[in-house]
Chains A and B, each alone.
Chain A
Amino acid sequence: MDFDTPMMPLRRRLLATCATALAVVLLPLRAFAAERNTPAFDAKAITDAIRSIGATDAVESDQVVIKAPDIAENSAIVHIEVESKLSGTQTIWVFAEKNPQPLVAQFDLLPGVDPFVAVRIKMAESASVRAVVKAEGKFWFAQKETKVTLGGCAG
């Protein structure tokens, strides 16, 4: 089948492309699935979640940059950015300290990606948003206070 044939409707070409994409991309999802740290995600206190990822000795560092709003107008959509300037950054975790389950996301960085992620999260109440970074086997963190006007976990 020639995708460049002008006679082939765009819709069909798109479908064909999508089918290829599905086959190619779903494979790594299965093959490389890192084991989910269920105890960390289930933990109800940030200290327990941090213990579960092995980061109790994490040190605050200005080499970890977290961006979060001072005041979140919509607590169901709080834009967070984390950038690590530490060489050998392997993993970035994002916590919302006072959420019912504080661990929101874990990002394992593989070769070829910058130590940067942005994501939008829900916050139950005003709290510190914390980024923990593992770099060359050591743990570092940065945090930022974000005020919310209305809880976001129900929405």
Chain B
Amino acid sequence: MADAIKMRITLDGDIADVKVLMPHPMETGLRTDPRTNELVPKHYIQHVVATHNGRPVLDAQWSQAVSKNPFLEFRVRGAKSGDKIGVAWEDNRGENNSLEMAIK
């Protein structure tokens, strides 16, 4: 399983600013492995869903051109302390990971 997602939430009034780091190689399929001289196959996060108290608020589709260990920031409205923010991803191989965290 991929390394754990990291999430930082800052509450400003009723807006939760959410910064997320998702450890993932994000291989473009264009990179050559220096040891084998062969192309490293495409391996990238395709789909990301963010939730607020279990309800989806953001649904993202990505290409292989999102940077390695993707960073994503978004802002949830109507948020308050104790609410839960979740992020889940799935890559082009069907691997997935998710994290849900309460707002402090």
A118 to B60, CA, bound (A): 12
Return the CB mask of B21-47 against A: 1 if under 8 Å, else 0: 000000010111000000000000011
A121 within 8 A of B: yes
User: Given contacts A21-B99, A24-B100, A105-B66, is CB(A36)–CB(B72) below 8 Å?
Assistant: no
User: Given contacts A21-B100, A120-B70, is CB(A34)–CB(B76) below 8 Å?
Assistant: no
Give the residue name and chain of the A residue nearest to B90 (CB): A29
A114 within 8 A of B: yes
Residues on the B chain within 8 Å of A108, using CB: 58-61
Residues on the B chain within 8 Å of A123, using CB: 65
Contact residues, B52-104 vs A (CB, 8 A)? 52, 54-68, 70-78, 84, 86-90, 96, 98-101
Return the CB mask of A12-34 against B: 1 if under 8 Å, else 0: 00000010111011101100111
Q: How large is the interface on B (under 10, 10 to 19, 20 to 34, 35 or more residues)?
A: 35 or more
Establish whether residues B62 and A105, one from each chain, have CB atoms under 8 Å apart when the complex forms: yes
- Tell me, rounded to whole Å, the shortest Cβ–Cβ distance linking B63 to chain A: 5
Establish whether residues A32 and B61, one from each chain, have CB atoms under 8 Å apart when the complex forms: no
Establish whether residues A76 and B68, one from each chain, have CB atoms under 8 Å apart when the complex forms: yes
A37 within 8 A of B: yes
Establish whether residues A32 and B59, one from each chain, have CB atoms under 8 Å apart when the complex forms: yes
Establish whether residues A34 and B78, one from each chain, have CB atoms under 8 Å apart when the complex forms: no
- The secondary-structure label for the interface of chain A is mixed
B11 within 8 A of A: no
Establish whether residues A122 and B73, one from each chain, have CB atoms under 8 Å apart when the complex forms: no
What are 26 A-B interface contacts by the 8 Å CB criterion?
A24-B51, A25-B86, A25-B99, A25-B100, A26-B88, A33-B59, A96-B65, A103-B63, A104-B63, A107-B58, A108-B59, A112-B55, A112-B77, A113-B52, A113-B57, A118-B71, A118-B73, A120-B70, A120-B71, A121-B65, A122-B65, A123-B65, A154-B28, A154-B30, A154-B31, A155-B31
**Which chain B residues have a beta carbon within 8 Å of chain A's beta carbons?**
15, 28, 30-32, 46-47, 49-52, 54-68, 70-78, 84, 86-90, 96, 98-101
Beyond A25-B88, A28-B49, A154-B28: 19 further Cβ-contacts under 8 Å?
A21-B100, A28-B56, A29-B88, A29-B96, A33-B47, A34-B59, A36-B46, A41-B61, A81-B73, A101-B63, A103-B63, A105-B66, A108-B59, A110-B59, A111-B57, A113-B58, A118-B73, A119-B66, A154-B31
